[in-house]
Amino acid sequence: MCGIVGIVGSTPVNQSIYDALTVLQHRGQDAAGIVTLESNRFRLRKANGLVRDVFEAKHMQRLQGNVGIGHVRYPTAGSSSASEAQPFYVNSPYGISLAHNGNLTNASEIRESLFKQARRHVNTTSDSEILLNVLANQLEVSQSYPLTPSDFFTAVREVHRTVKGAYAVVAMVIGHGLIAFRDPHGIRPLCLGRREVEGQIEYMVASESVALDAVGFDFVRDVAPGEAIYITFEGQLFTEQCADNPQLNPCIFEFVYFARPDSFIDKISVYAARVCMGQKLGEKIKREWDDLDIDVVIPIPETSCDSALEIARTLDKPYRQGFVKNRYVGRTFIMPGQQMRRKSVRRKLNAIRSEFKDKNVLLIDDSIVRGTTSEQIIEMAREAGARKVYLASAAPEVRFPNVYGIDMPSANELIAHGREVDQICKMIGADGLIFQDLEDLVSAVAEGNPNIQLFETSVFNGSYVTGDINQQYLDFLDLLRNEDSKTKREIQQDIANLEIHNEG
């Protein structure tokens, strides 16, 4: 998962982009980057690390200009080498810099056709560089100068016809403007904001509305699936639907886990969706576990807190914070390597013994993916003195890999793949385990926007909305996500950085 930002302003944008990236940090902690434009020259700073570590005062001083884009990332199908940090750059036509959130499912075919037909070389394993070159190749077809809004929309239309998968994109083209667009299914989020500064209108696009809030932009609307937004550097806004058959199928895992609770995505409050998930799950627990003696409801921080509070209310049980989180340790979901992931859980959470001692506790988590974290936390609860430890997941069983930009493991590494609930319960060492029903999850999220007919729920049911996913692709993705393969690619990528000057 990644976070993207783009601003066309009338004043320097470096600080606003930096601030926006800090509130999108939850979307990726592997690397960060900012490109600004001054005097028709791109200024770039990107590196591995958190936003606060990548950008020092000297970098911010050099990132001059009233237009810029930013990106936070963690690797999905590519490597985690610094050379794959975004934004990416290509010099023709005009000079383009691009940042992308998502995953292209036909990247390998496009890479080959770019080389053979368009004579374009892609130097990294990142599908974002592929997407940049597809866009550049389409813009190069236009005969006019300067390019018109119609030229940009025609290019995006061809991008939609060429690439498959999930993508939210923001790019700058020297001498022209900023272009942002979203895939025809709207799988990955993107929104538009505006603010007025000294009588001048400034525009911003971002992965989540919370980024707009952080820097004083008013939320205008979500970018529609398949839609392109073009903003000239003079501040003129143009929009057009560029997909042949757009339909809104947002990724439901955004609401379960990834997005911040204070964000609105496709008119849905993430916080309200999580509260409703808790209500639905609480009702199921009440129906199916009415014989259990539960003393206290405890969330596993932090995404599950909103759901857990509502579960406690529905069950009429006390709600307690039983774990204290160390905020200075990376998220286990993102950390590479299973052994590192195991070790990190205890560095990340510590149990408050008084809340567990001699109690039957119901732990609430947002989801269960590999099961390693759940196993460790249940063990911690027992060591803290719990008599019984029950676990409830606000999401259904994660049985299938994600192909749209979430770095989930292969199917064989998912604890729920090919297993029933009783088997999973035994493996993680719980006294009882219950999952949200998919129907209830969809209903909970859809309450915020009943117009959405179908959510992207492939990790739960194996149904991929783009319709192009087969076992051959899943096997290919499994190979890419293998830990040994990633290590080898990172060694290769360390010498593969052919970029514009990166401010050191």
3-state secondary structure of 234: coil
pLDDT more than 90, % of the chain = 80
Q: Does residue 500 or residue 278 have the better pLDDT?
A: 278
Quote the CA–CA distance of 112 and 134 in Å, as a whole number. Answer: 12
Residue 340: which pLDDT band, with cuts at 50, 70 and 90?
A: low
- Cβ-count burial of 453 within 10 angstroms (0-12 exposed, 13-18 middle, 19+ buried)? exposed
Confidence check: pLDDT of 426 > 50: yes
Amino acid residing at 205? V
| The pLDDT of residue 332 | 46
Per-residue pLDDT, averaged over 374-391, amounts to 97
216-223: average pLDDT: 98
What is the CA angle 299-301-302, rounded to 5? Answer: 115
Q: For residues 162 and 248, what is the distance between their CA atoms, to the nearest angstrom?
A: 19
Least confidently predicted of 118-132, 176-190, 350-364, 422-436: 118-132
- In 3D space, the residue among 292, 285, 351 whose CA is nearest the CA of residue 321 turns out to be 351
Query: Number of helices and strands (H, E) in the chain?
Result: 17, 21
Q: Which residues are annotated as a binding site for Mg(2+)?
A: 303, 365-366
> What pLDDT score was predicted for residue 427?
97
Distances (CA, A) of 176 to 148, 173, 238: 9, 6, 13
Q: Could you read off the pLDDT of 69-102 as tens digits, one per residue?
A: 999 997 655 555 777 899 999 999 999 999 999 9
Domains and CATH numbers, the chain: 3-247 (3.60.20.10), 271-326+345-452 (3.40.50.2020)
What's the confidence (pLDDT) of residue 480? 75
pTM reported for the whole predicted model: 0.92
Query: Which pLDDT value is given to residue 477?
Result: 82
* Averaged pLDDT, 253-261: 96
- Residue positions annotated with a catalytic role: 2
Asked if residue 335 has pLDDT above 70, the reply is no
pLDDT (0 to 100) of residue 495? 47
Residue 346 pLDDT level (bands cut at 50, 70, 90): confident
